[in-house]
Amino acid sequence: MTRLTSETIQFTKGDLVQYDAGLLRKTGLGLLEIACRAAGMEEEAARRSLASITAGVIPVTSGEGIIEGFCGAVADIVNHLGTASFVTGSPDVAGLAEAVRRGADVVFLADDNRFVALNLSSRIIADSSEATARGFVAALDSLAGRLSKLPVLVLGAGEVGRHAIAALLRLGARPAVYDPDPEKIRALGSGPGLTLEKDLEEALQKYRFILDASPAAGIIKERHIRPDTAIAAPGLPLGLCPGAMISIGDRLIHDPLQIGVATMLILAIQGEKKEMSGG
C-alpha cells in the first residue's frame, strides 16, 4: 500500500461536494453510486444502512506513525456518504476500545502495510487494496460507457493491480497487464482472458482504456493520449506527466482516498444489509 502524505489528502467537506459533482459529470454516477456498483449492493439498501450506523476512525502509531489529516479525511468521506463518524481521541488499542465504547458499528484503521474497515457485528473485513481496485474499475466502466468485451490495460501488478484484473474479468472485460517486475508478472500466472504486455511504450500506444495502479510517476506521456483515451488512476504518484494531464481533461478519474474509502464502507456494511433484509 502506497503511504499517503498530508499534502495528498488536503481537502475539505466542501471539496468533497465538488469532487462528487465532478464524478457525476464525468461518469454519470456519484461517489456512493460508484461504491455501490463496485460492491454489488443496491443503492437504496446502502443508504438505509449508512443512515443507521456509526463509524469510528482510529489513529495508529506503528511504523512511520500517524499521517496528519488522514483520519479526519476518512471520517469526512464516511460522513459525506451519510454515516455518522468520529475520530477516536486515543490511538491504537486504546482507540479501538474507545470506538467500541462509543458505539461504532464499523471501524477504520491503517498502518504502513494495511488499511481496513471492520464491521464489528458481521465480522466483515474490507481491505483498501481490493476496495480501491473495485471502485476504480467501476468508475472506469462508467467513464468508458461499458468495458464488457473491451481491452483494458492495467499498469502495475501489485495488490491493487491484481484486484483490478479480477474485477475487470468479472465485468467481462479483456484485461492486459504491464509491470517491469518479472516476479510480479510470474505470480499472476497466465489465466484465461489475461494478456501480458512486455513493452510499456507499445502497450500505452495500443490501449484506449487504462487503469493506472503503478507507483511510477510520469510514465504516461502526452503522445499516449488519444481523443478516446480514458484513465482511472488509483496509483500514487499519478502516472500522467503534465502534458498528458492537460490532454486527458475530464477523461481521468483520480483521487487519493475518496473512491477507496467509499467502497470499503459499502463492502463493510453488507452484513448490515443481510440483517435488515432478514437474511
Provide the pLDDT for residue 150: 97
How far apart, in Å, are the Cα atoms of 239 and each of 28, 175, 218, 264? 24, 19, 5, 24
The predicted pLDDT at position 4 comes to 62
CATH number of the domain within which 212 lies: 3.40.50.720
**Would you state the pLDDT for residue 2?**
59
List, for the chain, all residue ranges whose pLDDT scores fall below the cut of 70.
1-8, 10-12, 190, 271-279
Please indicate, yes or no, if residue 1 is contained in any of the structural domains: no
Nearest CA to 251 out of 221, 227, 235 is that of: 227
- Domain span holding position 160: 130-254
Q: Is residue 66 part of a domain?
A: yes
| Domain membership flag for residue 196 | yes
- Does residue 166 share a domain with residue 153? yes
CATH code for the domain of 123: 3.40.50.12150
Q: Are the CB atoms for 270 and 53 separated by under 8 Å?
A: no
Domains in the chain, number: 2
Strand extents, DSSP E, 182-266: 195-196, 209-212, 230-233, 252-254
Q: How distant is the alpha carbon of residue 274 from its chain centre?
A: 24
213 and 267 share a domain? Answer: no
Q: What is the pLDDT of residues 12-30, one digit of tens each?
A: 677 999 999 999 999 999 9
pLDDT of residue 64: 82
State the pLDDT at residue 63.
84
pTM (predicted TM-score): 0.93
